Amino acid sequence: DTEVTQTPKHLVMGMTNKKSLKCEQHMGHRAMYWYKQKAKKPPELMFVYSYEKLSINESVPSRFSPECPNSSLLNLHLHALQPEDSALYLCASSRIAGNEQFFGPGTRLTVL
Amino acid sequence: AQSVTQLGSHVSVSEGALVLLRCNYSSSVPPYLFWYVQYPNQGLQLLLKYTSAATLVKGINGFEAEFKKSETSFHLTKPSAHMSDAAEYFCAVSPTDSWGKLQFGAGTQVVVTP
């Protein structure tokens, strides 16, 4: 298995909702990442997990809460989001932090 | 801090013509360098990488890039453009002092005309 999967593909949520994004890889990678990408812009790093521990948080608002239950899974819990949080959320993984990253197809999030 | 600059936000090429996308990095120590491609409504796909081995790197889909330390450049080329090459291309640097922080360029949109 050489891919990163993300669910759901699309998500529409209200500002008071709680939802979660899920990312999975079975390549034995020990680093996993969350990115946010706005239209016509490059991805912006949000979080990095290395060996299931949070190693980088790019000053992301607390309404985004990452979780790494095991080495194959990465979740992003969403609560009380704002319309400006609407974006494509990309998950990536790499063998270890610093190696080439492999990206999932993303979750298109719309906050109403 | 290391950064990467892509020259040209839009490039238009004719089918069959050379594709040249420019990328320059700023770093006192040669970092790891990558080129990614993103098709509409999809994630990023790794085209190729430079990790201090050969300076001429071959990637997928006929693309290659040459690392030039003297010019701090890592330009991407393809001898003959295909319609399927129309996409957004990102150059990225992995700083040696902050593993995991992939720094992306602004991206170059490639349009291929018949």
Q: What's the rounded mean pLDDT across residues B50-57?
A: 85
Contact B44 A103 (CB under 8 A): yes
Looking at residue B76, what is its pLDDT? 98
Q: Please compute the mean of the pLDDT values over residues B48-62 and round it to a whole number.
A: 90
Q: A104–B43: do the CB atoms touch at under 8 Å?
A: yes
Among A55-59, A95-99, B46-50, B90-94, the range scoring the smallest mean pLDDT is: A95-99
Put simply, the answer to whether B107 touches A55 (Cβ < 8 Å) is no
A45, A55, A108: residue with CB nearest B102: A45
The C-alpha atoms of residue A64 and residue A79 are separated, in whole angstroms, by 7
The encoded tokens of residue A10 equal 């699309």
Q: pLDDT confidence of A2, banded at 50, 70, 90?
A: low
> How far apart, in whole angstroms, are the C-alpha atoms of residue B53 and residue A92?
24
Do the Cβ atoms of A45 and B101 come within 8 Å?
yes
Nearest residue in chain A measured CA to CA from B105:
A42
SS3 state of residue A5: strand
Does B46 sit within 8 Å of A42, measured CB to CB?
no
Residues of A in Cβ contact (< 8 Å) with B47: none
Closest approach of B28 to chain A, Cα-based (Å): 18
CA-based nearest residue to B34, from B81, B101, B84? B101
B54 phi, psi to nearest 5 deg: -65, 140
Q: Average per-residue pLDDT in chain B?
A: 91
- Residues B17-21: what's their mean pLDDT? 97
- For residues B53-71, give the mean pLDDT: 92
Q: Give the pLDDT confidence score for residue B24 in this predicted structure.
A: 95
Q: Determine the distance in angstroms separating the CA of A15 from the nearest CA of chain B, rounded to an integer.
A: 24
Question: Stretch B16-39: mean pLDDT, rounded?
Answer: 90
Contacts of B42 in chain A (CB under 8 A): 105-106
The C-alpha of B102 sits at a distance from chain A's nearest C-alpha, in angstroms, of 8
Contacts of B91 (CB under 8 A, 6+ apart): B4, B6, B21, B23, B25, B33, B34, B35, B74, B76, B104, B105
Question: Nearest Cα to B93, choosing from B111, B72, B113, B62?
Answer: B72
Average pLDDT over residues B73-94: 96
Query: In the predicted model, is pLDDT for residue B4 greater than 70?
Result: yes
- Closest residue on chain A to B88 (Cα): A40
